[in-house]
Structures are given as C-alpha cells and as structure tokens.
Amino acid sequence: MKTTTRAPDAGWLEQARRITGGQVLTAADDLQKYSHDELATPQYNALPAAVLKPGSEQEVAELVALCARTGVPVTPRGGGTGLAAACVPAPGGVVLSLEQLDHVVEADPDNLAITVQAGLTLNRLNQEAEALGLYFPPHPGDEGACVGGLVATNAGGARAVKYGTIRRFLLGLQVVLASGQVLELGGKRLKNSTGYGLQELMLGSEGTLGIITRVTLALLPKAGSMQTLVVSFADLDRALDAVPGLLASGVVPCAVELLEHGVLACAERHLNRRWPATRGRASLMVILDGPDEEDVLGQAERVSAALERAGALEVLLAESPARQREILELRSLLYEALRPATAELYDICLPRSQIAGHVAFVHELEARHGISLPTYGHAADGNLHTHFLRCALVDGAIGEELPGWRELLPVVRGELYADAAARGGVISGEHGIGQAKKAYLEANLGKAVVETMRAVKRALDPQGILNPGKIFEP
Ligand SMILES: Cc1cc2nc3c(=O)[nH]c(=O)nc-3n(C[C@H](O)[C@H](O)[C@H](O)COP(=O)(O)OP(=O)(O)OC[C@H]3O[C@@H](n4cnc5c(N)ncnc54)[C@H](O)[C@@H]3O)c2cc1C
C-alpha cells in the first residue's frame, strides 16, 4: 500500500488548535507520556509530533478530516495500557487522545445497555454499571483502559470462559472514518442481519480502520454471589488434565486461572503475602458466580468433586470477599512482579486441548536455552501469558541479567509462535498485534487472509493515515 503521509507544520498545528480550542500539546515533556504504552520493550517508543485532545465527537471528525486533507498520520489513543505498542505514533504523526471524551451518553437499564464516549475508563464504566445495579463482565487487568481501546483490541481477560470477550458485549458504535465521515453502527438491538457487520470489523482493528468515538455496550444483571476456589495439584500437567473434567461438570466457571507455584513466589515476594495452597507445584484458581450463595456453594461442591476425581491435592474455598480479593490480587500482580525482569510478554491462545503440549514446549525451551519463561494464564479459554525474562528467576527472586538474552529473544519468540501455529493457535488472544507481533502475522494466518485484511484497509483508509505501521507494514 502506498502511503502519502507527511508531518504537521506550524500552520497545521494552528488549524488543530482552532478546532480543539487550544487543546494541542507540542512540548517535549508533555509528549513523553504519549510515546509508549505498557509494553516493557522500549524499542517501539516514539514521540508524536503533537498530541490532539478533542473535547467532542465533532472535533474528532474535524481533526481527522484535517489529517485526511493534509496526509498527516494519526494514531488514536485511549488509556495507553496496551501491550503491543499499538498506540505509539507513526514517525512524524500525531496522537489523537480520546481522554476528554469520557461522558456517559445514556444509561438504559430497561434495555440492559449503556452508551458512553470512547475515552471513559473501564474503572468508571464498572462504577456506572454498579450504580445501575448491573454488571459489565469483561475484565482485562488494567482498569485505566478506555472503552474505545477495549473495542479496538477486542480485549478479553479472565472472565472470558463464561462471559466471552468485548465482542459479546458490543451493541453499537459511532466511528469517524479516515475521511472524517461519521458512521453510526449497530444500536441497542440484540440481533441484526442487515448488511455487512461493519461494527464487528472495528473490533480489534487497533485504530487502523476508524476512530471510535461512542460505544453502546450490553450489561448484565449483577451476580448475587461469588466464590473463589484455590485447588492445588502435584504439577502443571495434572492441573491442566483436570480442566476438561471441570468443564464437563455442568458448571460454567467465571474464570479458571493456571498458576505455577514457582512463578507465584515472585508475586508472593512482591506483596509479602502467601498463596493459600501449600501442597504441590501448581494451582487452578476457579472463580464462580451465580444468583445467590446457595447456588454458588452448589457449584463449588460440583467443581471440587470433579477436581478431586482428577487428583487435586487440596481444595480451598475463599469465602469472605476480603480473602477473595487477597487471592485475586496475588494473581493480578504477577505481571507487575515479573515486569522488572520482563523483556517481552506473549498472549498466545490455543485450543484448550493443546495447552499442556504448548506449556511442555515452553519448559523445553527453558531447559534448552537456560532461560526463564514463566507462564500462567486462562486455562479454560486457552489463553496463556508467557514472559521472556532478561534475568534468571530462582525461588521467585529475580537474579542477574543473563548474557546473550538479546540474541535469544527473537529465536525464542519465533519458536513459541511457530509451536502455537502448529497447534492451531493464534499469536494474540487479547492484546492485539500492534507493532510487536506484525512480523509474525502472515505466518500465523496465511498470506490470503492478510491480503484480504490489507484490501479492507485500502478501502477504508486509501491514504493510509490511520495508525500506519500497526498490524502490518504500510
Ligand atoms: C497490567 C495489565 C493487565 C492487562 N490485562 C489484560 C487482560 O487481561 N486482557 C486484555 O485483553 N488486555 C489486558 N491488558 C492490555 C490492555 O489493557 C488492553 O489491550 C486494553 O484494551 C487497551 O485499552 P487502552 O484504552 O489502554 O488502549 P490503548 O493502549 O490506548 O490503545 C490500544 C489500541 O487501540 C487503539 N485505540 C485506542 N482508542 C481507540 C479509539 N477510540 N478508536 C480507535 N482505536 C483506538 C490504539 O490506536 C491502539 O491501536 C493489560 C494491560 C496491563 C498493563
């Protein structure tokens, strides 16, 4: 695709200031925050030429029209919590931050729906749903993420086993196209067979097909009760072998997280708190929810029985909300605990039956290359998180930097992705492709699929101004 982009000059910035009432940042100190997302690797970071902070959907449309007229590349940004370097600007381009578009447009409990501006954070969305006595189940780990970003990455999280990803909750969108034209897609209806699914096309499009300004999301009645089980096993294989029996028990768990005790030790040190299970080398953390306590305790009994049949060493029930929070925090802070030593984080997603084989392959790579690749994840939906560590990890303590890790990184990454593809997996289950994984997209999906994606991109963004260089090369 031939792009015709250029950097903004002083006259351009003046026009942008006129549109936004002066909300344009150009000072180096102000731009720094917009030069990266939460991906640990700094190699993709780049300062934008300017940051535009529109205060309304109309201003977004006018700014994009300005970019289209002048060929200036524009990268939308929500909370900047992404893990694929997808909201990092293209060289010479501007960032369009949605942070000021953070209002609730309409709360509609009768239709179990809420319409919000794209810059509303997940944290605020949860509060708004709670105030309605309702619930927004998808929960990617960082509540600073914005609703537009959740849609643009089709975010997932641990509760996808029972509730699915953002895809399942997306009802409607307002999108600004590369021309500046505004589309209203979907609505509050649960069914729609009226033409192409343009709204679904925006899911996971990472700002490359349009800028999302408003989102209508489905909500659910709030679960009346929740329980967390921690179930330990002799080793990871036994824990994984137990998952099919758990899913066949008739209970649909909210989440089933796979955790190796050796990896958890890192979070235990970080938080100075102990994981409740003391026996074995791996645990499943099972979260159950339901209309009331009796229902959830019934589910817990069936799950415990299924896991005991599969060789569980101990089954611990965290009854109080405080205890549940403590356990969840240890799982949630695993990423933070490993982050100082992390060079890259992967989010491969596999058919469930292939998880054990892939994890065994990860351990083989650790032994073959003398590195640590701590792995945990969402055991019941096949989405694993593997960290490539620059340092050794011994008993949960981060050790010295390993010589030669830089040379090993692309080798190990390539081997992990090739193994995932051979097992029918994808290289991203929830974080997206961004810049970090684009070199591997074609090997994973095949040339014809990527060419079709490019054709869609050309049709919707013929000049290539929308977030160029993400998902694939321009
Ligand atoms: C500690 C931690 C835990 C996490 N856990 C999870 C998890 O469990 N599951 C999961 O899925 N993710 C997880 N993430 C990743 C991240 O939170 C998600 O990818 C989230 O959806 C990104 O939202 P954001 O608003 O921060 O997007 P950004 O990082 O700002 O942008 C991400 C992409 O979306 C595009 N974009 C943003 N806003 C718009 C818009 N309005 N219109 C069009 N395109 C837009 C950007 O251009 C970019 O391509 C985690 C991140 C962290 C730091």
The CA 316 to ligand 1 mean position distance, Å, reads 33
- From the alpha carbon of 210, which atom of ligand 1 is closest? 43
Question: CA–CA separation, 146 vs 139, rounded Å?
Answer: 12
**What pLDDT, on a 0 to 100 scale, did the predictor assign at position 332?**
85
The CA 225 to ligand 1 mean position distance, Å, reads 29
Mutate to test the pocket of ligand 1, among 81, 203, 465, 471 (most ligand atoms within 8 A of CB): 81
**Residue 413 in 3-state DSSP?**
helix
> Within 13 A of 81's CA, how many CA atoms are on the CB side?
23
Answer for the pair 170, 420: CB distance below 8 angstroms, yes or no. Answer: no
90 contact partners, CB below 8 Å, separation of at least 6? 5, 46, 73, 75, 467, 468, 469
Question: CA–CA separation, 254 vs 295, rounded Å?
Answer: 14
The CA 81 to ligand 1 mean position distance, Å, reads 5
Q: Whose CA is nearest to atom 36 of ligand 1?
A: 149
- From the alpha carbon of 76, which atom of ligand 1 is closest? 47
Question: CA–CA separation, 79 vs 224, rounded Å?
Answer: 30
pTM score over 0.75? yes
The CA 364 to ligand 1 mean position distance, Å, reads 31
Q: Whose CA is nearest to atom 15 of ligand 1?
A: 82
For residue 149, give the nearest of 180, 125, 130, 183 by alpha carbon.
125
Question: CA–CA separation, 211 vs 209, rounded Å?
Answer: 7
The CA 208 to ligand 1 mean position distance, Å, reads 14
List, as one string, the DSSP characters of 336-360. HHHGGGEEEEEB-B--GGGHHHHHH
Q: Whose CA is nearest to atom 44 of ligand 1?
A: 207
The CA 93 to ligand 1 mean position distance, Å, reads 20
- From the alpha carbon of 139, which atom of ligand 1 is closest? 8
List, as one string, the DSSP characters of 353-411. GGHHHHHHHHHHHHHHHT----EEEETTTTEEEEEEESEEEETTEEEEEPTTHHHHHHH
- From the alpha carbon of 150, which atom of ligand 1 is closest? 21
Answer for the pair 373, 365: CB distance below 8 angstroms, yes or no. Answer: yes
Q: Return the bridge partners of 248, or none.
A: none
Mutate to test the pocket of ligand 1, among 53, 153, 378 (most ligand atoms within 8 A of CB): 153
**What pLDDT, on a 0 to 100 scale, did the predictor assign at position 1?**
46
Answer for the pair 165, 347: CB distance below 8 angstroms, yes or no. Answer: no
pLDDT tens for each residue of the chain, 474 residues long: 445 567 899 999 999 999 999 999 999 999 999 999 998 788 899 999 999 999 999 999 999 999 999 999 999 999 999 999 999 999 889 999 999 999 999 999 999 999 999 999 999 999 999 999 999 999 998 999 999 999 999 999 989 999 999 999 999 999 999 999 999 999 999 999 999 999 999 999 999 999 999 999 999 999 999 999 999 999 988 999 999 999 999 999 999 999 999 889 988 988 888 999 989 999 999 999 999 999 999 999 999 999 999 999 999 998 788 888 888 888 888 888 999 999 999 999 999 999 999 999 999 999 999 999 999 999 999 999 999 999 998 888 899 999 999 999 999 999 999 999 999 999 999 999 999 999 999 999 999 999 999 999 999 999 999 999 999 998
Strand ranges (E), 68-156: 74-77, 94-97, 104-108, 113-117, 134-135
Strand ranges (E), 192-275: 211-218, 220-221, 225-233, 255-260
The CA 197 to ligand 1 mean position distance, Å, reads 22
The CA 395 to ligand 1 mean position distance, Å, reads 32
Answer for the pair 173, 202: CB distance below 8 angstroms, yes or no. Answer: yes
Helices 261-271 & 321-332 angle (0-180, nearest 10)? 110
- From the alpha carbon of 147, which atom of ligand 1 is closest? 25
The CA 86 to ligand 1 mean position distance, Å, reads 8
Q: Within 6 Å (CB) of ligand 1, which residues are found?
A: 37-38, 75-83, 86-87, 98, 118, 140-142, 145-146, 148-150, 152-153, 155-157, 206-207, 211-212, 335, 430-431, 467, 470
**What pLDDT, on a 0 to 100 scale, did the predictor assign at position 42?**
85
**What pLDDT, on a 0 to 100 scale, did the predictor assign at position 271?**
85
Give the DSSP H/E element, type plus range, for residue 287.
strand 282-290
Mutate to test the pocket of ligand 1, among 83, 95, 342 (most ligand atoms within 8 A of CB): 83
Amino acid code (one letter) for 367: A
For residue 288, give the nearest of 225, 222, 219 by alpha carbon.
225
Question: CA–CA separation, 153 vs 156, rounded Å?
Answer: 9
- From the alpha carbon of 431, which atom of ligand 1 is closest? 19
Count, residues in the chain: 474
- From the alpha carbon of 467, which atom of ligand 1 is closest? 47
- From the alpha carbon of 158, which atom of ligand 1 is closest? 8
Q: Whose CA is nearest to atom 16 of ligand 1?
A: 82
Q: Whose CA is nearest to atom 7 of ligand 1?
A: 140
Q: Compute the Cα dihedral for 114, 433, 381, 140 and give only its sign.
A: negative
In the block, tokens 């925090």 appear at 329
Which tokens belong to 449? 């699929």
**What pLDDT, on a 0 to 100 scale, did the predictor assign at position 2?**
45
| Local structure of residue 198 (DSSP, 8 states) | H
CA 300 to chain centre: 28
Q: Whose CA is nearest to atom 49 of ligand 1?
A: 206
Domains of the chain: residue spans and CATH: 10-100+455-460 (3.30.43.10), 104-221 (3.30.465.10), 225-334 (3.30.70.2190), 335-438 (3.30.70.2740)
